Chains A and B, each alone.
Chain A
């Protein structure tokens, strides 16, 4: 058990922990006491645990540095979850927290030895190693992969519930600090609906933990006003992740993802501490001013016992005063500035605190944690002075949190005077206020927030625009305001000075990379991998630009920035995926199929019965008796109006003008490249009403294709209506089909009254149906289209009526065998993205003498030149051998096997007891029935023979009984 009281202070005003309750969680096996409201990091800090992780490359010890989720130094594994930011994640009872990528333990990490060989591991070293011998590279790679990565994925991670919520708001305010709160209030007062997003449990921003400047005056309780205002909805614990076109934002709260369409967006995202680069600048115990104040004020934890405060602004002195008031002894304050530039600050310190003006830190010293710092004057080259202490507070400047402004395509430029990258040109509907826009005094932040709120309301037309005089006045107020950020980014030294904490990149590495030719900011990033780690440049991007500018002799502005990419903060795949929504289409008979032994198969978005246990038996039932299949998945389109025949003539290769009422015709549809797009039968139900079926997969696409031609210029007097789901459809097929159907209707079903390729409206068992006599299976068959609601009833009446005739349901597999026995093609299987109907053995359907139709020009060419390749039937020399679909047809030549075609369909035919199939062959070979060729099967060439026409009932007599 770790002693929880070691660094816990007396209750602090405004702290967010509940001291009355405690619970424990484990860190590296040891129990840690925490209060509700503690994060993992605050509880560990209270228990005096300084080292939480090890760095990626040199495995250097790392601890809490920013306490704001921006740096990578507190990444831990929490149960199944890798790469958790300990400083942002609330501690919970019985959490199992472990350090990542360390062995055997955090304290004694074996990989720390790499630090000794850093001389041999300069920037880009992996490009210069493991080159020879090439064969050894896989072995080296396996070693590299074992030491790579941080957290672990548990293959047995249990599922969890995630969801998403769309939001619509006039004004979205990102950041609930002083500027954000005043902006929200100002916009709401103009009548806008406002959504305010803040990543912390309570809004208030830096006012929650920072000691306000003396001239800030009493701090109005804006958070309470915002929460009370009817026009404002506050979303706490919600991190805005991205901003895309037309103010489309995303944000996360726990397992919920918000997708927000905002009329206007105000970014009041504040700023966070910018690191200073010096020797051992990432030693545990080096903490930013923000981190020290958060630990102190929010969690009542001493950031250290004896503090050395390194600063360049009056804020550093307020932090020293705050630490001192909480019982932390401040041993020294080191300020870059001359005393003349500081405010009246030095009086606040305890007597024995040492003050250094025009000084900075040269190095952090200590084994595994801070034991002191080397301080040196800026204007003289003298030996640094060591000062003992266990806490180094770095408060030399701020980086505006402008990631979302960059994403919103804001033009941001470097302000030399204030040493910060500030917004210069904001896109329409995007506004910025507060520390992200360079305001560093309480009053200015509030004023800029109010102004942004009124500008946003004006942009939405809810209020007049604020006068430009007010805008220029505020700009003057900001320019005169206090400067927080030092222009100095680094202090030369003799040990390692880390610019990028995620990837362990030092300033020397950058200098070497630039010398090697990687002298643009983007090339520098890709070669050194700087800013490519978990913090995505929050800690290192600004400093890298300064160093790159220095070594390339360019200005900071010329150096430019790397592209800021979403998401602003890492977000889990579970949150991004949300609730699992994968649409699935079920026919009206779905439940019946599953209850009657059907093996279901995926067919596009549909689920269909593939078989009912024995496909050959199902084939036999259709050939000898009668079978019933559910074909409800077919596309069904209704064409109405006098313009229908012309339209059909234009989109099909067939002719339709003279198709009589009550007749049905098989049609093939092509595009203007002459490629087969779809096929199906079309029935003329009346003078001006047609009923077209399409393949299951083509249903939606063909409707859109027809609408395209209708609405873009070919629209005669015709409507196309998608009625695919209005009717279910079954195919009653087999020699006894008529007998079965006759039991459900007293209509005359004999050939003369109801011939092949005709359509009739029949009442079956009291249900009005449309029935077509077509022959995909090659037997006498009736395709019954009945209202979907009555499908279950009609299906069961058909099965009842068919029981005496040995009726059996059959699935897609049996249907594929039956159609193959008739050599009928399946578009999309026997044809692909280059097949035309003439080559696919459907020349009979192509009526080239028609007026203009889709595909006419290329098909005339194919008809004239003759197809190069043709789709034909084949049988095998050894009848028992069934070549898998997709096998290649190969002609042995001197230069080795030459591919001349491939097998598109193949089955063993139970009816003919031999192998049958369809394949593509060169036209000359395909034109000779009986000609032989070879299919490559398991490395051997197996002989096959060309077969023309259907394998079964070539004359089609059985269709017309």
Chain B
């Protein structure tokens, strides 16, 4: 079903910004906006904004998160506020009874299956929900990402307060967002997961906030190259 096209909430804005699209797992994703080298350089030197809303986002509610994590990934569930790498997924503990699992677009279905199978074997209520389509996922990549976020959110983005592989939930540009930090190599990078309907507004607001530090759009190809 190749002509099956899923669009991210940022599709219209990316098209306006001159994005060239590519097909990944049925999604039309913005491959690049300008020259990939220029985009990569901007991300490394200052800060860039990219739309990865096709990434998998699964939430799990319940009190057996330790048991579930052990069963599915043979890993220990991270403590509240922390993130951890797992096989084909990252685990982020939002609350003692809430776990967020993020994956690449192509690994969502497989991860859901493993989770549901493991949950069925455990007693007590576990609710596994695929939020992939419900949340936009914008990434701020680059050394100035913390400064730009510091113009939109009251959290402390200093290295000690918000280390790599940490998760916080707060208000960003007056909208509720889950904020993940997952650096790409040495380049600091923060992901904003929030209501899909607010994705375009958030993109426009973040772009304007970072105008004076040279914030520019970043395509998928440049991200993979970082």
The dominant DSSP class at the A interface is: mixed
Whole-angstrom distance from the CB of A576 to the nearest CB of chain B?
Answer: 15
| A793 pairs with B5, CB closer than 8 A | yes
Stretch of B30-38, B70-78, B154-162, B216-224 lying at the A interface = B154-162
Question: Is A164's beta carbon under 8 Å from chain B?
Answer: yes
Whole-angstrom distance from the CB of A641 to the nearest CB of chain B?
Answer: 4
| A721 pairs with B127, CB closer than 8 A | yes
| A590 pairs with B12, CB closer than 8 A | yes
Whole-angstrom distance from the CB of B18 to the nearest CB of chain A?
Answer: 16
| A584 pairs with B201, CB closer than 8 A | yes
Question: Is B117's beta carbon under 8 Å from chain A?
Answer: no
| B151 pairs with A163, CB closer than 8 A | yes
| B205 pairs with A793, CB closer than 8 A | no
| A721 pairs with B129, CB closer than 8 A | yes
Complex partner residue of B125 from A165, A579, A718, A767, CB under 8 angstroms: A718
Stretch of A143-151, A616-624, A783-791 lying at the B interface = A783-791
| B6 pairs with A725, CB closer than 8 A | no
Whole-angstrom distance from the CB of B54 to the nearest CB of chain A?
Answer: 8
Complex partner residue of A591 from B12, B174, B201, CB under 8 angstroms: B12
Whole-angstrom distance from the CB of A734 to the nearest CB of chain B?
Answer: 27
| B197 pairs with A587, CB closer than 8 A | yes
| B196 pairs with A640, CB closer than 8 A | no
* Given known A163-B209, A583-B198, A583-B201, contact A789–B7 (CB-CB < 8 A): yes
Whole-angstrom distance from the CB of A385 to the nearest CB of chain B?
Answer: 61
Interface residues of B in 153-187 (CB under 8 A from A): 153-156, 158, 161, 173-175
Interface residues of A in 613-639 (CB under 8 A from B): 632, 638
Question: Is B1's beta carbon under 8 Å from chain A?
Answer: yes
Among B134, B158, B201, B209, which residue has the most Cβ atoms of chain A within 10 A?
A: B134
* Given known A590-B12, A790-B6, contact A726–B133 (CB-CB < 8 A): yes
| B133 pairs with A727, CB closer than 8 A | yes
Whole-angstrom distance from the CB of A162 to the nearest CB of chain B?
Answer: 11
- Chain A residues with Cβ below 8 Å from B135 are 725
| A766 pairs with B133, CB closer than 8 A | no
Give Cα A721–Cα B6 distance, bound, in whole angstroms: 23
Question: Is A851's beta carbon under 8 Å from chain B?
Answer: no
| A579 pairs with B197, CB closer than 8 A | no
- Chain A residues with Cβ below 8 Å from B175 are 583
| A787 pairs with B6, CB closer than 8 A | yes
| A788 pairs with B4, CB closer than 8 A | no
- Chain B residues with Cβ below 8 Å from A525 are none
Question: Is A305's beta carbon under 8 Å from chain B?
Answer: no
| A793 pairs with B129, CB closer than 8 A | no
Chain B's closest residue to A585 (CB) is B197
Complex partner residue of B8 from A166, A640, A725, A789, CB under 8 angstroms: A789
Interface residues of A in 634-682 (CB under 8 A from B): 638, 640-642
1/0 contact string of A788-822 vs chain B (CB within 8 Å): 11101100000000000000000000000000000
- Chain A residues with Cβ below 8 Å from B127 are 638, 640-641, 719, 721
| B129 pairs with A638, CB closer than 8 A | yes
Question: Is A168's beta carbon under 8 Å from chain B?
Answer: yes
| A164 pairs with B4, CB closer than 8 A | no
* Given known A583-B174, A789-B27, contact A165–B134 (CB-CB < 8 A): no
* Given known A586-B197, A790-B4, contact A725–B134 (CB-CB < 8 A): yes
Give Cα A724–Cα B196 distance, bound, in whole angstroms: 10
1/0 contact string of B1-39 vs chain A (CB within 8 Å): 100111111011000000000000001000000000000
Question: Is B150's beta carbon under 8 Å from chain A?
Answer: yes
Interface residues of B in 104-142 (CB under 8 A from A): 125, 127, 129-135
Give Cα A159–Cα B158 distance, bound, in whole angstroms: 33
Chain A's closest residue to B8 (CB) is A789
- Chain A residues with Cβ below 8 Å from B173 are 581, 583
- Chain B residues with Cβ below 8 Å from A590 are 12, 200
Give Cα A719–Cα B131 distance, bound, in whole angstroms: 15
- Chain B residues with Cβ below 8 Å from A788 are 9, 133-134, 196
Question: Is A687's beta carbon under 8 Å from chain B?
Answer: no
- Chain A residues with Cβ below 8 Å from B86 are none
Question: Is B195's beta carbon under 8 Å from chain A?
Answer: yes
Question: Is B64's beta carbon under 8 Å from chain A?
Answer: no
Chain A's closest residue to B16 (CB) is A591
Give Cα A441–Cα B43 distance, bound, in whole angstroms: 52
Question: Is B66's beta carbon under 8 Å from chain A?
Answer: no
1/0 contact string of B73-93 vs chain A (CB within 8 Å): 000000000000000000000
Among B125, B153, B173, B208, which residue has the most Cβ atoms of chain A within 10 A?
A: B125
Question: Is A406's beta carbon under 8 Å from chain B?
Answer: no
Question: Is B96's beta carbon under 8 Å from chain A?
Answer: no
Interface residues of A in 694-753 (CB under 8 A from B): 717-719, 721, 723-727
Question: Is B143's beta carbon under 8 Å from chain A?
Answer: no
1/0 contact string of A507-530 vs chain B (CB within 8 Å): 000000000000000000000000
Give Cα A792–Cα B133 distance, bound, in whole angstroms: 13
Interface size class of B (residues with CB under 8 A): 35 or more
Chain B's closest residue to A590 (CB) is B12
Complex partner residue of A166 from B125, B154, B196, CB under 8 angstroms: B154
Question: Is A588's beta carbon under 8 Å from chain B?
Answer: yes
| A717 pairs with B125, CB closer than 8 A | yes
Give Cα A641–Cα B129 distance, bound, in whole angstroms: 13
Chain B's closest residue to A689 (CB) is B127
Give Cα A396–Cα B25 distance, bound, in whole angstroms: 79
- Chain B residues with Cβ below 8 Å from A725 are 133-135, 195-197
Whole-angstrom distance from the CB of B202 to the nearest CB of chain A?
Answer: 8
Give Cα A725–Cα B195 distance, bound, in whole angstroms: 7
Question: Is A948's beta carbon under 8 Å from chain B?
Answer: no
- Chain A residues with Cβ below 8 Å from B197 are 585-587, 606, 632, 725
| A719 pairs with B125, CB closer than 8 A | yes
Chain A's closest residue to B149 (CB) is A166
Question: Is A259's beta carbon under 8 Å from chain B?
Answer: yes
Chain B's closest residue to A766 (CB) is B1
- Chain A residues with Cβ below 8 Å from B214 are none
Complex partner residue of A767 from B4, B130, B156, CB under 8 angstroms: B4
| B4 pairs with A766, CB closer than 8 A | yes
| B201 pairs with A588, CB closer than 8 A | no
Whole-angstrom distance from the CB of B177 to the nearest CB of chain A?
Answer: 11
1/0 contact string of A551-591 vs chain B (CB within 8 Å): 00000000000000000000000000001011111111011
* Given known A168-B158, A719-B127, contact A585–B195 (CB-CB < 8 A): yes
Complex partner residue of B156 from A164, A165, A168, A789, CB under 8 angstroms: A168
| A789 pairs with B133, CB closer than 8 A | yes
Chain B's closest residue to A578 (CB) is B151
Give Cα A584–Cα B9 distance, bound, in whole angstroms: 13
Complex partner residue of A581 from B59, B129, B130, B174, CB under 8 angstroms: B174
Whole-angstrom distance from the CB of B21 to the nearest CB of chain A?
Answer: 13
- Chain A residues with Cβ below 8 Å from B147 are 165
| B62 pairs with A719, CB closer than 8 A | yes
Give Cα A261–Cα B150 distance, bound, in whole angstroms: 12
| B59 pairs with A721, CB closer than 8 A | yes
* Given known A641-B127, A789-B7, contact A166–B150 (CB-CB < 8 A): yes
- Chain B residues with Cβ below 8 Å from A789 are 6-8, 27, 54, 132-133
- Chain B residues with Cβ below 8 Å from A726 are 129-134
- Chain A residues with Cβ below 8 Å from B151 are 163-166, 579
* Given known A581-B205, A793-B4, A793-B6, contact A166–B134 (CB-CB < 8 A): no
Please give the residue numbers on chain A whose beta carbons come within 8 Å of chain B beta carbons, in ascending order.
161, 163-168, 259, 261, 579, 581-588, 590-591, 606, 632, 638, 640-642, 717-719, 721, 723-727, 766-767, 787-790, 792-793
19 additional contacts, CB 8 Å, given A163-B209, A166-B154, A792-B7?
A: A163-B151, A168-B161, A259-B154, A261-B156, A582-B174, A583-B174, A585-B198, A586-B200, A640-B127, A641-B127, A721-B127, A723-B131, A724-B195, A726-B130, A726-B132, A727-B133, A788-B9, A789-B27, A789-B132
A-B contact pairs, 8 of them (CB 8 A): A581-B152, A581-B173, A583-B198, A585-B195, A723-B134, A789-B7, A789-B54, A792-B11
The 7 closest A-B CB pairs, nearest first, are: A726-B134, A789-B6, A585-B197, A591-B12, A168-B156, A725-B134, A787-B133
